[in-house]
Amino acid sequence: MEAIAMTQTVSTSEIIESETGFLVGVDYGDNAVEVLRTESGLQCHCFIAQVSHDDCEHIRAVRDYLASIPMSEDRPMLSQADADYYLSKLGELDNTMAANNESANTQIKRIKLWLEMENMKIQDKKDYYILAMDNWMHLMELSTKVLVAGTLKVRAQQPEIVVNDEDAVLKDGRFTRTIPEKQAIDKAALRKHVLDTGEELEGIQVILKQHKFSYKLNPGGSS
């Protein structure tokens, strides 16, 4: 492939230097191109650099820039007009970035809404199968059943003990433990007592939980 010739030249006043590389052609606004410093040398991602084995205009401009003012103290000073112009370019880039973020956030919200709606539809369908298999396990009085596609399980759930009034339980005195100079509820002892006796003490609430149904598919068990 023949190299594509570029006739445009870039002066050293149109180059901004940083620790990582150079911004070339800054006077051309959005057409400014970054040339990076790498271990293998200068690297540019412009179209010419990608299709040609020769240096692009941006790399040549940076080399000319470095050759003409090799020492850091010799770098050209910005004028107030330059600083003001660069500030305006920063404003333009900030606006572009803000627009990109706004667009991305809008798309993210749409994607999340789509995903939520699609998953709700799928979950609704799953619930039918789960309820049917759960009922079948109870009718058959099974706790575990191994099938071709996978394994079904039904496990009883322990009731949840919620302490609504700590002072009332502490006042009872039977279910306390001492935490360095502080009296606290011994929830393990309280749970055991409630499960063993069925007594619902003042200050607590016993929440009975439904059994837990679960399933596990074998590899290749779903179609």
Per residue in 160-192, pLDDT (tens digit) is 888 888 888 888 888 887 776 677 788 888 888
- In the chain, how many domains are there? 3
| pLDDT attached to residue 126 | 93
pLDDT digits (tens, 9 = 90+) for 33-59: 899 999 888 999 888 888 888 889 899
Taking the CA atoms of residue 91, residue 92, residue 97 and residue 100 in that order, the dihedral angle to the nearest 10 degrees is 140
| 31 neighbors 18 (Cβ within 8 angstroms) | no
| pLDDT attached to residue 156 | 87
**Is 147 a domain residue?**
no
Please give the model's pTM, rounded to 2 decimal places: 0.51
Taking the CA atoms of residue 54, residue 60, residue 66 and residue 68 in that order, the dihedral angle to the nearest 10 degrees is 130
Q: Which of 121, 141, 161 is the last residue of a domain?
A: 141
**Is 223 a domain residue?**
no
Collapsing DSSP to helix, strand or coil, 97 comes out as helix
Range of the domain at 88: 81-141
Q: Are residues 68 and 85 in the same domain?
A: no
**Is 6 a domain residue?**
no
In the chain, DSSP finds a helix count (H) and a strand count (E) of 5, 11
- Average pLDDT (69-91) is 74
Collapsing DSSP to helix, strand or coil, 207 comes out as strand
Distances 192 to 76, 85, 198 between C-alpha atoms, Å: 81, 76, 10
DSSP state of 183: E
Q: Which of 59, 77, 95 is the last residue of a domain?
A: 77
Length of the chain: 223
